[in-house]
Structure 1
């Protein structure tokens, strides 16, 4: 059995990790750490776990946590907080999956620019493996530290990456219009997230300046750098998809997130200009070549994704339309921000790290209706 602990166990992502891991057939949940609720019984904080395997667990303070007897630790903490804790845990013989933004960039100056926080562990950041499961298996499998991608970023990258090597794609024209459920903002109390403030309305926030713009752009451009691609993402992927960086393109992204009055979910509508005429058939073949064997990617070129068909699952739905009049591709991507956008992908990465089938513990379908 894989012994796993969660630091940051009472946030929304932490609770999803508990829910998934306590039913995982190859995992034994060890310790649950939550400084804000230390000393409380889990079911006193989250009564939905009554009758479960973890009903009698007590939440611990971080000062009481011992690394020993763990095979893997999930750190579900805010950015800026996580880097210090991960640095203490690293090199203690345990694998780590970090769900903050602290280790997603090898370029820590870029992290500081977009997050407004100094990164104190540049060397460690360069050792972290980016945890986009479908594109980075070979590196994740060997990793000691995996940086789980953000939810907006996962929805956007899975939609865009098949087009990165498409000779007709103008990667300087990417526009991402994305919507998130309220849970994406976390559990802390904020006036603009109160029911009366967020229900029956819709609003944009940080248009063009949201930090996830930089993560999407950064990873797309690392994919375009063949040397990085070979070392981080595996030569077998290069060979499979005939990767070619000779076009010297640079991806630029205009990204605007919106808050919509649903509990969970990410829905991204992405626009990308083409340099030459294409067709629905050509694009379908392109996406099929990337995703036809992927368990959690549902390609639906003849219909359109909806949040209700993925909420509560680790699945992603991708649809697209080609507009011949404007030579533009419109890609639609839907996923559950708490699962494939966070805890579900983290468990998928854990399965890869321990040579388990990726779908282990993650085969639940969506909660619709």
Structure 2
């Protein structure tokens, strides 16, 4: 099988490390370029000890990367960085595919990007090419794109559970309350006081209340599904003292006489045959333990005791299906391969 040469930008972050982990088990990927500016010149095993037994290229700076040595690039860089690099690559090597795990191309409107991220969009001419990389909902666009903008972890969990319901007009998209919880790896690997062990351990902390940047993606995609402009949702994230995992609980008002059973049937219908999405039996409640270390999503719909309302719960691993795994799933689509290649890892338990 012919190898596809791949670069990973931001290889020293948690997302980059998980992408490397998954790529090493992929039968067609050859890792040729690994960048990490702060660790340039180091072997990967000096940064991540769990790669000590693996032969990998040394980490280099982005300025030293040879784009002629890659067929595809996974970008795990901070927002505001990927746009310039994408422009550079496309200008000099237009056949290279980019699977972006940052936020730089997720929002279709450049003005919305500036509003939420405080930066001018410097690659607005490329933005229309970006396919929103929510695999189960945008396969056709992803297959044809050279630029894939993978969703954030929270939007992936929320949108997979709510978009099919909004499309079928079973829920009132203007009355959504979303409670979300993520492991500490979602905050990145950089040194931050609030993620120190003594600060994050043995407690739960809300953050970015009413202003989390992932709200923009959630509103963009549910608004599109419900054909509503200017949609606003209530979304509150929380930090949980665990390394990885994410769970979202969405409180919805049903429409058109729909019941919780109708909502569940709609999700079963939407994801019938999907390799990574499971609608749980009965009233089995999703738990992060069900998906840890895997590309799987588990969800369910529970009737609320308040008439006309239901509770939709979804869980995934924020570093896999919420980031690196979904990126690899999109890579498989973009190259016409089985979506599950390199992603066969079952959840880890305990």
TM-score by length of 1: 0.90
**Structure 1 residues 168 and 32 mapped into 2: Cα distance closer, same or farther (>3 Å)?**
closer
Q: Name the residue aligned to 1:27.
A: 29
Structure 2 contact 166–172 (Cα < 8 Å) conserved: no
User: Residues 175-218 of structure 1, C-alpha deviation per residue, up to 9 Å, x if partnerless?
Assistant: 11000100000011011110000001111112121111111001
Summarize the alignment of residues 57-136 of structure 1 with structure 2, pairs less than 5 Å apart: 57-91=57-91, 92=93, 93-136=95-138
Q: Name the residue aligned to 1:229.
A: none
1:269 aligns with 2:249: yes
Q: Name the residue aligned to 1:187.
A: 189
1:255 to 217, 235, 238: 235
**Which of 22-31 and 331-340 deviates more?**
22-31
Secondary structure of 1:90's counterpart equals helix
- Where does structure 1 lack aligned partners over 5 or more consecutive residues? 226-247
- Where does structure 2 lack aligned partners over 5 or more consecutive residues? none
Distance in 2, Cα, partners of 1:320 & 1:307? 16
Q: Name the residue aligned to 1:345.
A: 326
Summarize the alignment of residues 220-239 of structure 1 with structure 2, pairs less than 5 Å apart: 220-225=222-227
Count the aligned residue pairs: 345
**Which of 176-185 and 79-88 deviates more?**
79-88
1:288 aligns with 2:268: yes
User: Residues 201-245 of structure 1, C-alpha deviation per residue, up to 9 Å, x if partnerless?
Assistant: 1111121211111110012223345xxxxxxxxxxxxxxxxxxxx
2:304 to 311, 314, 323: 323
TM-score by length of 2: 0.95
Structure 1 contact 151–342 (Cα < 8 Å) conserved: yes
Distance in 1, Cα, partners of 2:305 & 2:259? 8
**Structure 1 residues 249 and 20 mapped into 2: Cα distance closer, same or farther (>3 Å)?**
same
CA-atom RMSD in angstroms:
1.4
